[in-house]
Structure 1
Amino acid sequence: MNRRLAEWKLEFDRIWSAHAPDYGEAVTLAQLIADCAEDEALRQAAAQALPILRCAAQDSTDHATCVAARRRISVIREVMAALTAPQFGRRSALPKSLTPEERSRQLLGLPLDRRLSESEIHRAYKLLAKRTHPDAGGSEEAFLRISAAHEALMKERRMPPRH
């Protein structure tokens, strides 16, 4: 186990177990993890937690914000627990590679386990497009990636079923 990961885990466990968590410290730690963690899932969990943790770190926060911040801290702790748990069995087995459709679904934040309607795909695309469009402060590369994923999923839905 990575020593830095173990230290981060201990710090988040300490923050979590405090009666009144220090959300300012949680913001600092989450930012550090989002910037330099090796695991993509951990970086993503920390980055997604940052906005609510910053809100909770302000002095005039309401109870609902603090509850949401604690939930985000628990998500980060769960990811770290999964990364630090002993691995038994197929340790060296490579993870199953995703199909192009699964990659597109993952990019748009859609479930992998069921058939999706065109409206579900389009709604997920529109939500992401609002944030990633270059005119809204996003990057052109990210916008092009989600546009390609949207187009691939919509094209697949329009194709007649194979028998």
Structure 2
Amino acid sequence: MDTKFREWQLAVERFCSDSAPDYGEVARLVAEIARDSADVTLRQAATQALPSLRSASAMLADRITTEAARRRLGVVCDVLHDLTTPRFGKRGLAPKSLTPEERHRKMLGLPLGCPLAPTEIHRAYKRAAKTAHPDTGGNAQAFLELSEARDALMKQR
């Protein structure tokens, strides 16, 4: 389907760069995109652009109608560009799972990479327990998880 996206992108970019595109032909292309696209965002952008493009294809379309059609076609072009642009770096990767110690530190609001003194762990536990304790409107399960996190971090010391 990637080749289909590229074909659509080239055709839409050609229409966008044209000073006076044939909006009837543009509407047919966008209708095909709305019908055949597997991507929800692209299908939605094309569906929303169709009424403006069909209005602009009328013989007596005014300047405001053609500008609206051109803006809608620009949105379709942007979505196609996002779909066909290669992704670099780690943007598409799932976040790294935390180790149990990192998860416990995060629950207590402690920094991840440095050694901790028992007093720091206890102070962080007290601070987090103020909002998590059932008597102050917190959740009993969350409070128990905080206690387990404190105990696990204290045993590591």
Instruction: Give the TM-score band, short-chain normalised.
Output: 0.5 to 0.7
| Counterpart for residue 152 of structure 2 | none
| CA RMSD, Structure 1 to Structure 2 (Å) | 2.0
| Counterpart for residue 45 of structure 1 | 45
| Counterpart for residue 15 of structure 1 | 15
| Counterpart for residue 54 of structure 2 | 54
| Counterpart for residue 78 of structure 1 | 78
What is the correspondence of 1:82-121 to structure 2 with a 5 Å cutoff? Answer: 82-90=82-90, 92-93=92-93
Bigger Rg, structure 1 or 2: 2
- Secondary structure of the 2:27 match is helix
What is the distance in 1 between the residues matched to 2:58 and 2:22? 11
User: Please, which runs of 5 or more residues in structure 1 have no aligned partner?
Assistant: 96-161
What is the distance in 2 between the residues matched to 1:94 and 1:62? 48
Deviations 1:90-134 (A, max 9, x none): 365369xxxxxxxxxxxxxxxxxxxxxxxxxxxxxxxxxxxxxxx
User: Please, which runs of 5 or more residues in structure 2 have no aligned partner?
Assistant: 96-136, 139-157
What is the distance in 1 between the residues matched to 2:66 and 2:92? 40
Amino acid paired to 2:13: D
Question: Shift of residue 89 of structure 1?
Answer: 1.9
What is the distance in 2 between the residues matched to 1:93 and 1:30? 31
| Counterpart for residue 137 of structure 1 | none
Amino acid paired to 2:73: I
| Counterpart for residue 24 of structure 2 | 24
Classify 1:61/1:34 alpha carbon distance in 2 versus 1 (closer, same or farther; 3 Å).
same
| Number of equivalenced pairs | 97
TM-score norm. by structure 2 comes to 0.58
The alignment-based identity, stated in percent, is 45
Classify 1:32/1:88 alpha carbon distance in 2 versus 1 (closer, same or farther; 3 Å).
same
Classify 1:87/1:19 alpha carbon distance in 2 versus 1 (closer, same or farther; 3 Å).
same
Amino acid paired to 2:90: R
| Counterpart for residue 6 of structure 2 | 6
Deviations 1:45-84 (A, max 9, x none): 0000000100000010000000000000000000011111
Amino acid paired to 1:59: M
TM-score norm. by structure 1 comes to 0.55
| Counterpart for residue 102 of structure 1 | none
Amino acid paired to 2:88: F
Amino acid paired to 1:65: T
